[in-house]
Structure 1
Amino acid sequence: MAGFLDNFRWPECECIDWGERRNAVASIVAGVLFFTGWWIMIDAAVTYPSQQMNHAFHTCGVFSTIAFFMINAVSNGQVRGDTYGEGCLGRTGARLWLFIGFMMMFGSLIASIWILFGGYVVGNECFQIFLENIWLCNATEILRFLI
């Protein structure tokens, strides 16, 4: 039962060569997800007054955005040590920077889940905070691992 999908192949589209356009498509998808996440949060800030939604909850999205830039600022060559120059701290510094970025990203995601279930289980405003962080996390992962 474990290998029943081994012989299954998705039919390939002959009209599009995704190999050359993979980076462009991944960048566009990540940009759309990033935009959608912030658009949802801006909508929540405009729709709900500060009595219904505490505006300090925007910090989850801000930290997710900072983590987005931190994670994507490090190239794969720097993490593997394949670059010509060592940089400031070399491979260890690049890995540490990437680790801190992922910690910030998942910490923001966990904080948005805590806000969602801790304070506002019945309201839409905290669901929008959670959606923003999900979209930002997905954009980061797509841009990091598909390019």
Structure 2
Amino acid sequence: MTKMASCFENLQMPACEWFEGGDKRNALASIAAGVLFFVGWWIIIDVAANYPSMSEFNHAYHVCGVIGTISLFMINAVSNAQVRGDAYSNGCFGPRGARAWLFIGFVLGFAAVIAACWILFADFVGSDKKSWPGVGLFLQNTFIFVGSLVYKFGRSEDLWG
């Protein structure tokens, strides 16, 4: 078998001299996730303030953001070490319980984003209503879910064990 050469194989990127974030990786991931979470909720607060009537923006749509927030807490409640079984031997379920908890958290996060997308296209796109409430709802849930992923996978403990 022949090995294909990669064009980026010998590419060397110089180190960023003005920013060394190796020991600050956890703090930066936390800040980035917090900003994304804040922006998501700020968008939906803007939507709720600008469209206060139920005919413009149904207040039951806030359930998507609440489910996304619960998903954020569930995803980030377990570390990768607990999922691998390295640091979690106590409890009734062990690593299987941590994996199930993480899976349910991801399912809730995806469900919140999918439900917001469904609401956007079913109620706001192609109708007489203004589309910003639906777009704001979708952006809120997307930012919350991306924020949970940034926090989960941006921390050095979770990446490197």
TM norm. shorter chain > 0.5: yes
Unaligned runs of 5+ in 2: 156-161
Q: Pick closer, same or farther for the CA change 1:114–1:19 going to 2, 3 Å.
A: same
Specify the alignment match of 1:72 in structure 2.
76
Q: Pick closer, same or farther for the CA change 1:2–1:39 going to 2, 3 Å.
A: farther
Specify the alignment match of 2:159 in structure 1.
none
Give the Cα separation in 1 of the matches to 2:51 and 2:13: 45
Residue correspondence of structure 1 range 1-147 to structure 2 within 5 A: 3-49=6-52, 50-83=54-87, 85-121=89-125, 123-147=131-155
Give the Cα separation in 1 of the matches to 2:148 and 2:81: 18
SS in structure 2 opposite 1:113? Answer: helix
Give the Cα separation in 1 of the matches to 2:33 and 2:43: 15
Contact 2:88 2:95 (8 Å CA) reproduced: no
Alpha-carbon deviation of 1:9? 4.1
Query: Which of these two proteins has the greater Rg computed from alpha carbons?
Result: 2
RMSD, matched Cα: 1.7
Contact 2:89 2:95 (8 Å CA) reproduced: no
Q: Pick closer, same or farther for the CA change 1:85–1:41 going to 2, 3 Å.
A: same
Alpha-carbon deviation of 1:117? 0.9
Alpha-carbon deviation of 1:85? 3.3
Percent sequence identity over matched residues? 51
Alpha-carbon deviations, 1:15-73, whole Å to 9, x = none? Answer: 32211010000100000000000010111111102220101000110000000000100
Q: Pick closer, same or farther for the CA change 1:141–1:84 going to 2, 3 Å.
A: closer
Contact 2:88 2:94 (8 Å CA) reproduced: no
TM-score (norm 2): 0.85
SS in structure 1 opposite 2:23? Answer: helix
Alpha-carbon deviation of 1:80? 0.4
The ranges of structure 1 where at least 4 consecutive aligned residues each deviate by more than 4 angstroms after the TM superposition are: none
Give the Cα separation in 1 of the matches to 2:5 and 2:134: 40
TM-score (norm 1): 0.93
How many residue pairs were aligned? 147
Unaligned runs of 5+ in 1: none
